[in-house]
Structure 1
């Protein structure tokens, strides 16, 4: 059962799952994502997809399970797709869209951050040149660019170590 605005909707029970506990988890995880800065609707939808065994739901299913409007689902999905946490796909043999969260969503999301960070670095360096190299503002912008360059290098190393960790001990031999 997933709840929203005081209403409750029954889900098809997944074998061995306490539906109330799953619903509570969805809302708890969504609340944590909200605290971290994500909007409430995207947080609830993402949490619902994460807790779904298949990781795939249609807009109608999300709307029903979370007791939210189709417009709320649509707006939240645009955001989740834009930040790379959810993918939109066509339901086989249908014109209906469905939304999928990847099993390795965090890895994929961080992998895509390179592009964003590289754009930030470029703009920060342009900003440094614009406000003046050696000025206080220029130093602040240069420091920010240097931080993001460092972060990219560290992120690459961390993601490589994660791949090795996930592959298990045989990968390191």
Structure 2
């Protein structure tokens, strides 16, 4: 049953998927489960190279027989000073984080990004993120490094202090798109060079050439979208400032 506990049959299908070289997302799709569920199941039971369905099922039975321990306290509600129900803020954050995670972003990275997205100020320090997510500083640091590389946040100094804070704004997806455009352009150059070196008329050369052509079209289209968005925003700003 989707959303319920994994069954013995589910675990056998996970093992089969791993043996076939499938990723967590594809295995999850076949079982109608989130990729994060598959990842946790595999990670806690030997990892992708050592996962065994029977052993995982038995380990689950053993855990179920252990005496119940006090449930860990839930993380504190996300800070909100505008009268919003913290439960609503949390539900929104969890929903968006899950969707971003399903698109391929690591789970912790998605949570850090969404923590920033749901704050009105768009800024949080490392200590804020550690407290809200109840994770280690190292986990936050790794997530921030990934997001910074993708152009999804920036570092800035806290006024009057030596520590940093992480910030986002309404242009995070714009910067991410521009980073993708730059990556595509660099890859196009390499693909064309490879096609020429390996022979444009050979199957591999033609494959590289087709890939370069597609990525060129994609980067040009994305650049046009960025230019149109910037022009639209400039027009709106001009209209707002008109007497």
Q: CA deviation at 1:24?
A: 1.2
Distance (Å, rounded) in 2 between the aligned partners of 1:169 and 1:68:
41
* 2:107 pairs with 1:40: yes
Distance (Å, rounded) in 2 between the aligned partners of 1:169 and 1:10:
36
Which deviates further from its counterpart, 106-115 or 93-102? 106-115
Q: Which residue of 1 aligns with 2:175?
A: 108
Q: Which residue of 1 aligns with 2:63?
A: none
Q: Which residue of 2 aligns with 1:53?
A: 120
Q: Which residue of 2 aligns with 1:88?
A: 155
Q: CA deviation at 1:143?
A: 0.6
CA contact (8 A) 1:7 1:67 kept: no
* 2:104 pairs with 1:21: no
Q: 1:26/1:115 Cα in 2 relative to 1: closer, same or farther (>3 Å)?
A: same
Q: Which residue of 2 aligns with 1:9?
A: 76
1:132-143 matches, within 5 Å, as 132-143=199-210
Larger Cα-atom Rg: 2
Q: 1:61/1:169 Cα in 2 relative to 1: closer, same or farther (>3 Å)?
A: closer
Query: Which has the larger share of strand?
Result: 1
Aligned partner of residue 9 in structure 1, secondary structure: coil
Aligned partner of residue 88 in structure 1, secondary structure: strand
Q: Which residue of 2 aligns with 1:159?
A: 226
RMSD (Å) for aligned C-alpha atoms: 1.9
**Equivalent pairs, count:** 167
Residue segments in structure 1 that go unaligned for 5+ positions in a row: none
Q: 1:22/1:93 Cα in 2 relative to 1: closer, same or farther (>3 Å)?
A: same
Aligned partner of residue 94 in structure 1, secondary structure: coil
Aligned partner of residue 75 in structure 2, secondary structure: strand
Q: CA deviation at 1:170?
A: 7.0
Residue segments in structure 2 that go unaligned for 5+ positions in a row: 1-71
Query: Which protein has greater RCO, CA pairs closer than 8 Å, 6+ apart?
Result: 1
